[in-house]
Amino acid sequence: MKFAFWLLVPAALAQNVPYQRILNAAAEPDNWLTYSGNYQAHHYSALDQINTANVNKLKVSWMYQIRGRQHFEATPLVFDGMMFLTDPPSDVTALDLRTGRPIWQYRRPIPDGVPVCCGQVNRGVAALDDQIFVGTIDSHLVALDAKTGRVRWDVEVADYKLAYTITVAPLAIKDMVIIGIAGAEYGVRGFLDAYDAKTGKRRWRFWTTPGPGEPGNETWSGDSWKYGGATTWVTGSFDPTLNLIYWGTGNPGPDYDGTKRLGDNLYSDSVIALDADTGKLKWHFQFIPHDVNDIDSNQVPVLLDASWKGVSRKLMLFGNRNAFYYVLDRATGEFLMAKQFTRQTWAKSIDAKGRPVPNPEAEPNEKGALVYPDDDGSANWFNPSYSPRTKLFYQNVREKGAFYFKTATSYEPGKLYLGATKRDLTTEEPYGTLRAWNALSGEQAWSFRVESPPWCGVLATAGDLVFSGTMEGDFFALHAVTGKLLWRIQTGGEIWSNPMSYRTGGKQYIVIAAGSSLISFALE
Amino acid sequence: MRTLFTFVCASALLAQTGESIYLTQCSICHGQRGEGGRGAILAKPKLLHAPDDRALQRVIRRGISGTGMPGTGLADSEIELVAAYVRSLGRVRQAPLPGNPERGRAIYNGRAGCAACHMIDARGGSHGPELTTVGAIRGGDYLRESLVNPEADITRGYVFVRAVTRDKRVVTGTRVNADTFTIQLRDPAGVVHSFIKSELAELNIDLRKSTMPSYRGKLSAEELDDLVAWLATLQGAQ
């Protein structure tokens, strides 16, 4: 039997992920083929070997150490006996799945002085056929041979000297690689791109701030659209039946000074639905018109087909940084529901069409405006999770406010374009909560408090477990139904990543990046 | 006179410009007055990655590899201005103080008992904030207020904790560390206590409370002047 297993290994190491495999990701729960686990972005594992009855026996199986000291934000991909992840700033490593030993590395030299607001980080790779794709902090998209890490092609997506940077994991669909951009704190003009996976030739670009003559340009005063941000730095999701790509967009630029950009500032703080083949806008929904608090809407849109008030609908679930949970119709963009899940002061209410009534007192001013959430949001780039077993939506929530003071700002290439400065609250301590709510009603099922606002995603599994971590290095498992703590370990490093799961050799593993370590856990 | 006037005005203008660059380019991470936040605390006389002005300018120009500090894209002239301003954040201008520092030193080590909780040059207690450079970052008025009203402004990171064990033992002190499940605190004698939170009967954190006693009424006005004068001389090793 053992002999037979080893005979299988060479075939398994062929590393080939045709589009059909990703499309049918549910058929191979042992693997993790795309950033959020599947195109619906459930960030859920159907594996149940590790479950509520035995999770207390979870032990470290192997660890891999990165060299860099930047936040280790990668969610690995797993297939054909290998794991593929990014080491910050923009390196790629392939690991042997059973041992955690590196098989190859792609190391990218990064020029000095890349202007980037929030660290030279990277959240992962995409895979398609026999290639691995990575976006780099100096704003290139690179295709690597999955077997060796050799560069197949390398294209410039934008000019990093103008503060265009890439931290997002690409999304591979059909025969294309979709890649977003960061840099809205520096007055870049946001876009989403699609590249031919074989050649690296750009297929289409959708500008998230429309130019003159395009619908939506009227929502920007003067030429403010040129510096309007609305960047696309968190991986979206995909509906192959509707042929639509869904992607969240970030804050308008400058972040805090709305007088520089009167109007709604489309398509900032929105979710956009683009035709996958043409990149043309099918619909958009703007969560926060004319954001003056740098809230962003860079979350992962979660797709779910379910009965909504008795009618079967294609839904989108969106746990927004702005402290509201939204349900939209993803075929049309129709607003169905918004429910506040934690403290916020930026909006007085949300109207029947989903448009917020802003609170003018939250706009940065000379005396300092107290705003909840702060600019890191009630949520952020880290994944929520949806479990089809519990029908709950799991979201890590940041409970933190701050004072914002207006400052002068003007656009200069490569420099911060903000319009406010910030002071942390000293009268209360920020904290975090992992919350579970009914995916359709938003009604909270349970909440689990953690020491400080988290930067870790959530993984729900078919073992009815929910895994997550903290900034203090705690990694833990809760009961998915009750929120009861079942297992924990102190990893010793800040956790800035998403947990994920895979199975190899008949054994399920749970993986988390903590500090500079990637840790793989399994039952003894 | 005119030259001096021009010089003063130019200096004021430069200082203003350094501050405005700081506010637009640096403060979102390092705080309005260098108090820190997402970025490091800059309101201190010695910066880990910038021991001298050249190093500071290099950090501002290129960023710090392996950290969240990016290169800034500022022109050399702007970098000089903002570097000077950053230096000013970590060094208060001490107005002449009325007390006698030598008498203050004696009070510090003697009847005020400060050394039991505070450290200077790695000597003294560890319960309260280290004072090796306190004269560089705090003015006389602030120091005096801290002595008579310690809870007016509590140093970042010095959080008061009261823990009650299940066998009714009460431990108070300053939080050294904590995660979601555990907490470590240092009591006034300098002893570290570590608890699993779920095993405690009570755990209270009070951000407005300090374990430092007030010296109002315990030291005379003259003695307070002397003590403040001594603390103001603590500028760190030059």
How many other β-carbons are positioned within 10 Å of the β-carbon of residue A365? 14
Q: Cα–Cα distances in Å, from A492 out to A85, A513, B140? A: 21, 11, 41
Residues A219-248 have a mean pLDDT of 98
State the Cα–Cα distance between residues B34 and B22, nearest whole angstrom.
9
Closest Cα to residue B121, out of B103, B140, B107, B108? B108
Answer whether B28 sits within 8 Å of A120, measured CB to CB.
no
| Topology of the domain covering A2-523 | Methanol Dehydrogenase; Chain A (2.140.10)
Residues β-bridged to residue A244: A239, A275
What single-letter amino acid sits at A347? A
Residues 126-145 of B with CB under 8 A from A: none
| Sheet architecture: strand order including A311-319 | A302-308, A311-319, A324-329, A335-340
B62 → closest Cβ in A113, A414, A418: A113
Q: Which residues contact A373 (CB under 8 A, 6 or more apart)?
A: A295, A321, A322, A323, A342, A343, A344, A398, A399, A400, A401
Answer whether B37 sits within 8 Å of A424, measured CB to CB.
yes
- A262 pLDDT exceeds 50? yes
Report the SS3 class of residue A198: coil
State the Cα–Cα distance between residues A321 and A382, nearest whole angstrom.
11
CA-based end-to-end distance of chain A: 21
Which residues in chain A have Cβ-Cβ distances shorter than 8 Å to B180? 449-451, 470, 472, 474, 476, 488
Two structure tokens written together for A474: 């705690």
What pTM did the predictor assign?
0.92
Residues A226-235 have a mean pLDDT of 98
**Which sequence spans correspond to the domains of chain A?**
2-523
Decide if A366 touches B, using CB distance below 8 A.
Answer: no
User: Among all residues of chain B, which has the CA nearest to that of A491?
Assistant: B179
State the Cα–Cα distance between residues B229 and A450, nearest whole angstrom.
44
Residues β-bridged to residue B178: B183
Distance from the Cα of A417 to chain B's closest Cα (Å) equals 8
A451 → closest Cβ in B20, B159, B179: B179
Q: Cα–Cα distances in Å, from B71 out to A139, A160, A323? A: 16, 12, 32
State the Cα–Cα distance between residues A141 and B102, nearest whole angstrom.
66
Report the SS3 class of residue A160: helix
Which residues in chain B have Cβ-Cβ distances shorter than 8 Å to A405? 32
Q: How confident is the model at residue B13 (pLDDT cuts 50, 70, 90)?
A: very low
Which residues in chain B have Cβ-Cβ distances shorter than 8 Å to A163? 73
Answer whether A421 sits within 8 Å of B28, measured CB to CB.
yes
- A370 pLDDT exceeds 60? yes
> Who wins on pLDDT, A266 or A69?
A266
Distance from the Cα of A423 to chain B's closest Cα (Å) equals 6
Which residues in chain A have Cβ-Cβ distances shorter than 8 Å to B74? 415
Decide if B51 touches A, using CB distance below 8 A.
Answer: no
Residues A318-341 have a mean pLDDT of 98
What single DSSP character describes residue B219?
Answer: B
Residue A67: per-residue pLDDT:
86
Q: Give the containing element (helix H, strand E) for A460.
A: strand A459-461
Q: Give the containing element (helix H, strand E) for A341.
A: none
**Minimum mean pLDDT among A31-35, A269-273, A410-414: which range?**
A410-414
Contact A92, A140 (CB under 8 A): no
Residue B66: per-residue pLDDT:
76
Residues β-bridged to residue A369: A404
Domains by residue range for chain B, with CATH: 2-89 (1.10.760.10), 101-154+212-232 (1.10.760.10), 160-206 (2.30.30)
Closest Cα to residue A401, out of A453, A325, A444? A453
Answer whether B208 sits within 8 Å of A488, measured CB to CB.
no
DSSP A356-413: EEE-GGGS-BSS-EEESS-TT-SS-SS--EEETTTTEEEEEEEE--EEEEE------T
- B62 pLDDT exceeds 90? no
User: Among all residues of chain A, which has the CA nearest to that of B72?
Assistant: A115
Packing angle between helix B2-25 and helix B76-89, nearest 10 degrees? 90
- A353 pLDDT exceeds 90? yes
How many other β-carbons are positioned within 10 Å of the β-carbon of residue A100? 18
Q: Model confidence over A479-490: pLDDT tens digits?
A: 999 999 999 999
Residues 168-207 of B with CB under 8 A from A: 178-182, 205, 207
User: Among all residues of chain B, which has the CA nearest to that of A257?
Assistant: B24
Residue B6: per-residue pLDDT:
43
Residue to substitute from A164, A421, A449, A474, interface B, most B β-carbons within 10 A = A421
Tell me the CB-side half-sphere exposure of residue A111, using CA atoms within 13 A. 13
Distance, C-alpha A245 to centroid of its chain: 15
ipTM of this complex prediction, to 2 decimal places: 0.89
Answer whether B27 sits within 8 Å of A422, measured CB to CB.
yes
Torsion sign across C-alpha atoms A495, A497, A498, A499: negative
Residue A117: per-residue pLDDT:
87
Q: Is A294 a catalytic residue?
A: yes
Residues A9-19 have a mean pLDDT of 69
Tell me the CB-side half-sphere exposure of residue A63, using CA atoms within 13 A. 12
Answer whether B71 sits within 8 Å of A113, measured CB to CB.
yes
Check A269, A294, A376, A474 and give the catalytic one.
A294
- Per the listing, tokens 């007088």 go with A259
State the Cα–Cα distance between residues A247 and A181, nearest whole angstrom.
12
A vs B, Cβ pairs < 8 A, gives 101
Residue B71: per-residue pLDDT:
84
State the Cα–Cα distance between residues A205 and A153, nearest whole angstrom.
19
State the Cα–Cα distance between residues A382 and A395, nearest whole angstrom.
9
Residue B17: per-residue pLDDT:
84
Q: Cα–Cα distances in Å, from A494 out to A377, A386, A513, A517, B127? A: 18, 24, 9, 10, 26
**Minimum mean pLDDT among A148-152, A192-196, A224-228, B66-70: which range?**
B66-70
